[in-house]
A and B are shown apart, each in its own frame.
Chain A
């Protein structure tokens, strides 16, 4: 681990915080107490110095009482010199009560006034001394002792300041030593106390990394020890739960893998079907091209044959009238005359029909022309769809009955898309009734502003569990029989594009009714 990270972890540790708090508090308390001690000592030193000066002055005042009263300057000088022998005494001044200085003793020095401590004491008569007047009455009635003079001592404080400096240094060193000792002892104590916490935290960190098999060593039965025990139990529980989860996850993965494979199979089948339909569309388009050319030739030939027959008809009728009836193509002219006209009409009609079928097949396969156009005749759409279904040739014995309403107005729609919708619905209906030989009924109706196209079959019906999924893509019960599962999905998409609705009503065994609701004037679809 990098040094910064180690440092960060150490700073964030419980041990460091406790140690920091303890050392800080100890430092503050030590500083506080040592400051108080120093201030008290300074005051004490100053007080002692002042008291000593006062005592010296008082002693001198007591000693000079009689010489001062007698104004004996020699005695006063001697006493003042005795007092001045003290090294710290800077000056001794003795004055009478009326202010006359009798003794003024100053040591030669350069001390400033700020470094001097001055004390003045009054010299009064002995309080026990009694005048004859008071002595004869043995009275305590005695006024205050008489003021004889004053004694002033001046003391230099240089030594006092040196002592205070020494005191401060000594105190600070002692405080520092005390603080360091206490901090060291506290660190050792904290290290002992917090070792359990560190073990606990290391174990928790290992478990946090996912190793629930790790167990924290319990050294003591203290709080961290009990916490370690609880965490070990929790880890065991988590490990068991983890194993269960892993097992469940594996089972889930297996199930999902199987399901994905099934889905993949279905998807591939649908893709194959879709590809097949695409190929079929291309084949249909190719076939349409190949059919259109001969069909056009047949149609032209039919037209030519019809015009030629109409031109030959008067001549042939004249021959028949003149020479009698004759056979033409193995049948009498009188019969053949009508049959040939009818054959020409049949050629023209069927070639036209082939043209339309091919054209529709091509359009259907290319999927083009999805714009909406006004004036679409719904009944014509139904007829065209039925024609396609008839052309599809899969209805076998199924009867498709159409009942179109003449009141249906022309709507705005895409003719070919609606045909596709109807073809899909009819194809589903045909497939539904193939087995039980039921009927299919197509009808149109007008309901307010809606045009309804109803396709009802008498088939097997739709199971309820499939009703919700009818419009889903690739949902088909006939995937294995070539169903793509896209028919109703595309039909619902187209109807929705027309602002309409595609509804189903069905019950198992009761057939199915598909209802296409189309607005007469659909709103522009976004």
Chain B
């Protein structure tokens, strides 16, 4: 009789746990997938956590040999997924049911068509910032090298706006990184400044140096998109404020968690951009920046 009582209790416990685990899986709002441990991602996360307090679980991909994101999503059933970086975005390629917000990724727009549940903020600062800067620099012919497949949409926006600023964009298309050097060579004498886009075809580790060699040889400033290029010889960069980027992602996530469909959310541009310059390069090129270009643009000298 006692043995029957114990067996009944064990069955009840197992049934309770089976019912409880799904309930525990619903315990957080956001599954944060981080490409690797990096200070830049920490800054984004800090901004993400500032305005709102989401319950979250953070998975850093480089901490695992092979992280099974699908299984985590299936088991945890988070309210949404926040992907930081291209590796994190790639890890969410099979997720269909859970909304995904991607930041710090260059390939958001490429995947947008394949993933309708994907929204996010791209790394392209508004062309207006660049154009204003070129206007300030009094550079009328601005050379741009890009891969139409990756940054064609952005260049079209830029060209539309360029007329307003009296700037002519001298565009060279390159479908292959190895052709970048030839395209750069073709710009010799044709441009007053060079605009480096966050285009993974036009700019690679091997070809990035060529932009600055061109700058030295042709005495034209290079305006890039990340502070890392200042040390290589860029005259100025339009760097995205990563904390603000996190806050912007948090706002977007709040909407998603409140039921807004990701399809309704456009791929947004970063709200806050910081202008950083290399005074030595500017001085060498004889350029003087006189004033603030835009209220959303902060200027810092490095």
Residue among B38, B208, B213 making CB contact with A139, cutoff 8 Å: B38
B86, B210, B213 — most chain A CB neighbours (10 Å): B210
Segment among A83-91, A124-132, A167-175, A505-513 that sits at the interface with chain B:
A124-132
- Are A138 and B226 in contact, CB atoms less than 8 angstroms apart? yes
Alpha-carbon separation in the docked complex, A371 to B104 (Å): 156
- Are B229 and A130 in contact, CB atoms less than 8 angstroms apart? yes
Q: Which residues of A contact B97 (CB under 8 A)?
A: none
Q: Which residues of A contact B148 (CB under 8 A)?
A: none
A471 at the interface (CB under 8 A from B): no
Q: A131-B204, A132-B199, A136-B106 are in contact. Are A126 and B209 (CB under 8 A)?
A: yes
Alpha-carbon separation in the docked complex, A145 to B206 (Å): 9
- Are A138 and B206 in contact, CB atoms less than 8 angstroms apart? no
A65, A125, A130 — most chain B CB neighbours (10 Å): A130
- Are A136 and B181 in contact, CB atoms less than 8 angstroms apart? no
A34 at the interface (CB under 8 A from B): no
Alpha-carbon separation in the docked complex, A128 to B231 (Å): 8
On chain B, the number of residues with a Cβ less than 8 Å from chain A's Cβ atoms is 36
Q: Which residues of A contact B205 (CB under 8 A)?
A: 125-126, 129-131, 134, 145-146
Q: A69-B181, A141-B36 are in contact. Are A135 and B226 (CB under 8 A)?
A: yes
Residue among A136, A141, A145 making CB contact with B198, cutoff 8 Å: A136
B126 CB, nearest partner CB in chain A, Å: 16
B221 CB, nearest partner CB in chain A, Å: 17
**Which A315-330 residues sit within 8 Å CB-CB of chain B?**
none
- Are A72 and B181 in contact, CB atoms less than 8 angstroms apart? yes
Alpha-carbon separation in the docked complex, A132 to B199 (Å): 7
- Are A141 and B225 in contact, CB atoms less than 8 angstroms apart? no
Residue among B85, B182, B229 making CB contact with A135, cutoff 8 Å: B229
Alpha-carbon separation in the docked complex, A141 to B229 (Å): 15
- Are B231 and A132 in contact, CB atoms less than 8 angstroms apart? no
Closest to B40 in A: A137
B151 CB, nearest partner CB in chain A, Å: 10
Q: How large is the interface on A (under 10, 10 to 19, 20 to 34, 35 or more residues)?
A: 20 to 34
B130 at the interface (CB under 8 A from A): no
Q: A126-B208, A136-B106, A136-B123 are in contact. Are A131 and B200 (CB under 8 A)?
A: yes
Q: Which residues of B contact A133 (CB under 8 A)?
A: 85-86, 106, 200
A502 CB, nearest partner CB in chain B, Å: 137
B101 at the interface (CB under 8 A from A): no
Closest to A127 in B: B205
Q: When each residue 217-257 of chain B gets 1 if its CB lies under 8 Å from chain A and 0 otherwise, what string results?
A: 00000001111110110000000100000000000000000
Residue among A70, A132, A138 making CB contact with B40, cutoff 8 Å: A138
Alpha-carbon separation in the docked complex, A131 to B196 (Å): 12
Q: Which residues of A contact B179 (CB under 8 A)?
A: 70
Q: Which residues of A contact B204 (CB under 8 A)?
A: 131
Residue among B203, B209, B210, B232 making CB contact with A132, cutoff 8 Å: B203
Q: A125-B206, A145-B205 are in contact. Are A130 and B226 (CB under 8 A)?
A: yes
Closest to A148 in B: B206
A275 CB, nearest partner CB in chain B, Å: 145
- Are A70 and B178 in contact, CB atoms less than 8 angstroms apart? yes
- Are A132 and B198 in contact, CB atoms less than 8 angstroms apart? yes
B104, B182, B206, B207 — most chain A CB neighbours (10 Å): B206
- Are B208 and A70 in contact, CB atoms less than 8 angstroms apart? no
- Are A66 and B213 in contact, CB atoms less than 8 angstroms apart? yes
B37 CB, nearest partner CB in chain A, Å: 8
B113 at the interface (CB under 8 A from A): no
- Are B178 and A69 in contact, CB atoms less than 8 angstroms apart? yes
Q: Which residues of B contact A69 (CB under 8 A)?
A: 178, 181, 206-207
A66, A71, A72 — most chain B CB neighbours (10 Å): A66
- Are B228 and A138 in contact, CB atoms less than 8 angstroms apart? yes
Alpha-carbon separation in the docked complex, A70 to B178 (Å): 5
Residues of B within 8 A of A (CB): 36, 38-41, 85-86, 104, 106, 123, 178-182, 198-200, 203-210, 213, 224-229, 231-232, 240
Residues of A within 8 A of B (CB): 65-67, 69-72, 125-126, 128-139, 141, 145-146, 148
Identify the 7 closest CB pairs spanning chains A and B, nearest first: A135-B226, A137-B40, A70-B181, A135-B228, A129-B208, A132-B198, A126-B209
